[in-house]
Every structure is written in structure tokens, then in C-alpha cells.
Amino acid sequence: MELIDGNQIAAAIVAELKAEVAALAGRPPCIALVRVGNDPASMSYVKKKEMTAKEIGLTSRVILPPVTITQDELFALLDELNADPTVDGILVQSPLPKHIDEVAVFRRVSPDKDVDGFNTVNLGKVAQEDATGFVACTPAGIMELLARSGVNLKGKHVVVLGRSLIVGKPIALLAVQKQPGANATVTICHSATADLPSITRQADVLIAAIGRAEFVTADMVKPGAVVIDVGINRVADPTKKSGYRLTGDVHFPTVSMLASKITPVPGGVGPMTVAMLMKNTMKAYRQARAH
């Protein structure tokens, strides 16, 4: 079994971007990070994004509206950032408070600055195989992990567990694209799928994104399969100071015994998501200048 080391691959991407930024003339690319309220997970994600931007040499502008911000006020803030020529990319950290329609917010971000890839236009461009679009960071990170680990999806059966707009649907669309490295046969499973194990056992590449701790067990995996674990779940662990540990959607101890390659949690897909956000910001900057 080979461990797919997301930390190492993400560090390589960060180093590449750092070199690219160092070679730029003029102002560096700028990402606006909007975090509504003080959700602890969001605070740590935005901090990590800010630190990675700094390491690469990108400028970040962190905006922290209170949890009471109305949808209209948030729209007004996004309109300002959309119109600001010194901002190249905009990220609105999810989850947003319940009184705000998250999808409406994703739509409000200008498609040209939508480095998170959740705007309708950018999701559409994935379907149309239009390379000018921004691919959502987690699925883009998974494709990069596979490519840099020497996994070519051509002709392979990829089974995706989960159909969210953030992971499941876009990764399925990317894997099925008629493009080098992709070109797979794809099956998407969800909570209404009948006899799930009989489908997952057919997977040459199994991508688990359901948010259920250690759901995928060895009996659901074909020996020699490549397993990508997207899940980030907190499970109670009294031996840890925090009282919990992080685990994926895959039961790593048993599945790693039969997989040919597998991502760990943490240290697999997670670090790639941040690296791809930075890569998208660089792309937005370059595309804005090419117009």
C-alpha cells in the first residue's frame, strides 16, 4: 500500500506558486476572505488560508462581518469586492448563518473572482469542459492528488460516495471529462442508493465524501483499489486533550490493508483544498490581466 501524502503534494504546489508570484511584476494577487461570525472551524480554516497566502506572497484581505449581518448587507459587501480592481479572488467561508441563503451568496460572487468555484457559471463550465472556469477547490485538489500520484483515470471505474455541490457532483463531472488524466466511467452513490457495497466493490477508484466517520469498511472495497477519503469527522476520544480526534469516511486501519493507494485523514485531501484555492487566485489574477 502506498500512502498518498497530501501535505507533501500541497507543499509542492505552494512552492510552485511562490516561485510564480516572485516572478511577477507589479502588485501581487489578492484574495478577500469573508468570514461571517465566529464559528470555531471557520476561524481555523480562514486562518490557514491567510497563512498559506502569506507564505506564497499573495495579499489577503480578511473581512469579518458579525453573525447578525443581513443577506442584503452581505450582498452589498460582495458587490463592493466584485467591483474592486485590487481584489482578484473572493472566498466566503461556509457554513453561513441559517438566515442567509448560501447558494444565493455563491451566485452573488462575480464568476471572474469566484475562486471557490461555487457560482453557477463555474459549475456549468466544469460540465462544458471550459478550462477558463474555476473548479471547486476540494474536487480540483483530488484530481491533482491523483495526477501527481501517477493515477490515470482513463477507462477506470470511479465510484463517488456523496452528491454534494461542494464535492460529490463536481468530482464526478471532472472524472468523466474527456480530458487527459480523466475519461473515467463514473457512478455516483448517495443515501438512496440500493446495495451500496455491491457498487463500491466495483470501484477501481473509490472517492468517499459523505461525512460519516469510518463508514467505508474493508468488505466494501476491491483489493488493489485507490481510495480517496474526503471526510473530516470529529469523533469523541477521551485520550486526546481536545476530547476528540479527526477521522475520515473510511475505516483506515482495515481498508489500507487492501488498497493500492490511499489518502490519510488528516494529511490527505484537506491540505490540497487550501493549495488549490491559492492556485485559483493566481489564475483569476492572470485571467483579469489577459482581458
Q: Could you say which residues in the range 31-90 bind ligand NDP, by CB under 6 A?
A: none
Q: Cβ closer to ligand NDP: 43 or 288? A: 43
Q: Does the active-site annotation cover 71?
A: no
Question: What is the widest separation between alpha-carbon atoms in the chain?
Answer: 57
Q: How far apart are CA 255 and CA 270, in angstroms?
A: 19
**Alpha helices for the chain (secondary structure H):** 6-22, 40-56, 71-83, 102-108, 120-128, 137-148, 168-176, 196-200, 252-258, 269-290
Q: How far apart are CA 197 and CA 219, in angstroms?
A: 8
Q: Cβ closer to ligand NDP: 77 or 263? A: 263
Q: Could you say which residues in the range 159-218 bind ligand NDP, by CB under 6 A?
A: 161-164, 166-168, 189-193, 196, 209-212
Q: Does the active-site annotation cover 179?
A: no
Q: Which single residue brings its beta carbon nearest to ligand NDP? A: 164
Q: Which of 58, 176, 269, 277 binds ligand NDP (CB under 6 A)?
A: 269
Q: Which of 60, 93, 138, 256 binds ligand NDP (CB under 6 A)?
A: 138
Residues in contact with 98: Cβ distance below 8 Å, sequence separation at least 6, in sequence order: none
> Is 197 in contact with 158 (CB distance < 8 Å)?
no
Q: Does the active-site annotation cover 49?
A: yes
Binding to ligand NDP by residue 278, rule CB under 6 A? no
Q: Cβ closer to ligand NDP: 210 or 282? A: 210
Residues recognised as catalytic:
49, 93, 116
Query: Which residue ranges make up the site for ligand NDP (CB under 6 A)?
Result: 138, 161-164, 166-168, 189-193, 196, 209-212, 230-233, 269-270, 273
